[in-house]
Amino acid sequence: MLQTYRYSTLQETDFERLLARNTDPSRGIEQLVMEIIGDVKTNGDAALKKYAEKFDGVQLTRLYLEANEIASLASTIGREQQRALEIAFANIYRFHETQLRKERSIETMPGVKCWREPRPIEKVGLYIPGGSAVLPSTLLMLGVPARIAGCKEIVVCSPPQADGKINGYIAYCLQLLKIDRIYLVGGAQAVAAMAYGTESVPRVDKIFGPGNQYVTKAKSLLQGLTNVSIDMPAGPSEVLVIADDSANPEYVAADLLAQAEHGADSQAILVSTNEQLIDKVQVTLKTQLALLPRAAVAEKALANSYAILCANLEEAIAFSNQYAPEHLIIETDNWVPLLRKVSNAGSVFVGHLTPESVGDYASGTNHTLPTSGYARSYSGVSVDAFVKKITFQHLTAEGLRNIGPTVEILAELEGLQAHKNAVSVRLH
């Protein structure tokens, strides 16, 4: 089921092929997304309604739901589901609230004081995928840090269901977050709407949220076309599992399938030091796959996935760092020494009893993470992503006397006389 490769025999071209994912060599995705962006920029709400009919199969007369409609939908879910969402909300809040720390001021030399203060990004847009799986957990993962940061306006976009509404779980999360409006817009058109603004959808300063290749491409393009920023390239989901002979093949197979069922373009990679374990996982994958409601989706994802046989855990970590997975699971008894060797990963799950699912939903860490190798340079979403940190400085007379001559010399050597004069008029 998973094509197996030996790490020791891989050539440079093999690495290039195995590490690549979600590519667009023909630029077909980019071309389509640019057309959608242009249409939304020019035609606003009319374009959004057209795409809702085309992609979501629903005719909308209004592109949003308000507080009373959200409350009505939220009331349709059971108390057990409400309680689960409340626990997830509380854990996510508890983990993220520690991230908004006040930094101390520093006196870089006598009389020269510098410090930073956080300020919330005023208007943020949260994209909540709909598609083949509706994700209320993503709304919590984005909404909670936005609330902690103090963002003044939180715009939420999610594709409409067939009845032109949202499901009760997303509605209940909106209530937990005290958000009283949601926009019924999905895909690349939602990203464009938040970047440019339409008659209904407000323009925002920064766009957050995962999505398919079209959503990811729209975010990347619009960051260049406008002055709207994005959280990160967060596209189709992926997991890499490192497992040795101490791993349970049933656990490993379950973890691979948990990622594969996200979508046909997801990837689930097994990296093991034990060939027998790989064989056992292959067998178990078939057994577990047959029982899944989303088996067809998961099977397509597995067809684009593979296993790597390594001589030892050092090789396994080396490959993982090259792949830079969104999710890394380390299923070994002796995992502690491996942690310091992990340099590229979005979020790491260690030990045999830590499935990636807990991070997806309720442990408290954020599940909006960099994909497609971007974990080499991006972090996952945190409160930091929803704030700007502004630097301040203040000089006393002593401070100006201490630092002034240095600035005069540096300005002069760069040929910037006005810079020098700004100091000199104060000193002399």
The three-state (H, E, C) secondary structure of 212-243, written as one string = CHHHHHHHHHHHHHCCCEECCCCCCCEEEEEE
**Residue at a domain's end among 198, 231, 264:** 231
Which tokens in the block code for residue 165? 């509404």
Q: Which residues are annotated as a binding site for Zn(2+)?
A: 259, 262, 360, 419
- Candidate list 96, 238, 299, 327, residue with the active-site label: 327
- Candidate list 238, 326, 356, 408, residue with the active-site label: 326
Residue 22 clears pLDDT 90, i.e. is over it: no
Mean pLDDT of 216-228: 95
* Domain-located, residue 12: no
Same domain, 58 and 206: yes
* Domain-located, residue 307: yes
Residue 192 clears pLDDT 90, i.e. is over it: yes
* Domain-located, residue 315: yes
What's the mean pLDDT when you consider all of the chain? 96
Same domain, 210 and 357: no
Active site residue 327: yes
Residue 396 clears pLDDT 90, i.e. is over it: yes
Whole-number Å distance between alpha carbons of 273 and 247: 10
Q: Which residues are annotated as a binding site?
A: 127, 189, 212, 237, 259, 262, 327, 360, 414, 419
Same domain, 272 and 351: yes
Same domain, 127 and 198: yes
Q: What does the pLDDT read at residue 131?
A: 65
The residue to which tokens 């009283």 are assigned = 180
Contact (CB, 8 A) for 330 and 350 = yes
pLDDT grade for 132, boundaries at 50, 70 and 90: low
Q: Which residues are annotated as a binding site for NAD(+)?
A: 127, 189, 212
**Residue at a domain's end among 231, 266, 288:** 231
Same domain, 261 and 338: yes
* Domain-located, residue 11: no
Active site residue 394: no
Number of domains making up the chain: 3
Same domain, 157 and 273: no
Q: Are strands 229-230 and 106-109 parallel, antiparallel or unpaired?
A: unpaired
Q: Which residues are annotated as a binding site for substrate?
A: 237, 259, 262, 327, 360, 414, 419
Among 17-21, 94-98, 116-120, 281-285, where is mean pLDDT lowest?
Answer: 17-21
Same domain, 183 and 330: no
Same domain, 350 and 409: no
Mean pLDDT of 182-193: 98
The residue to which tokens 């059971």 are assigned = 78
Contacts of residue 201, defined as CB under 8 A and 6 or more positions apart, other chains included, come to: 45, 48, 63, 64, 155, 157, 183, 185, 193, 194
Same domain, 54 and 186: yes
* Domain-located, residue 243: yes
Residue 208: CATH number of its domain: 3.40.50.1980
Contact (CB, 8 A) for 259 and 367 = no
Residue 133 clears pLDDT 70, i.e. is over it: no
Mean pLDDT of 303-331: 97
Same domain, 302 and 414: no
Same domain, 212 and 303: no
Q: In what order do the strands lie in the sheet with 206-208?
A: 64-66, 181-183, 153-157, 123-127, 206-208, 229-230
Domain that holds residue 140: 28-100+121-231
Which tokens in the block code for residue 137? 């957990």
- Digit-coded pLDDT (tens) for 271-291: 999 999 999 999 999 999 999
| pTM score | 0.94
Same domain, 199 and 126: yes
**Residue at a domain's end among 231, 264, 295:** 231
Helix (H, G, I), strand (E, B) or coil at 167: coil
Q: What are the Cα distances from residue 219, in Å, to 30, 33, 151, 227?
A: 11, 10, 20, 12
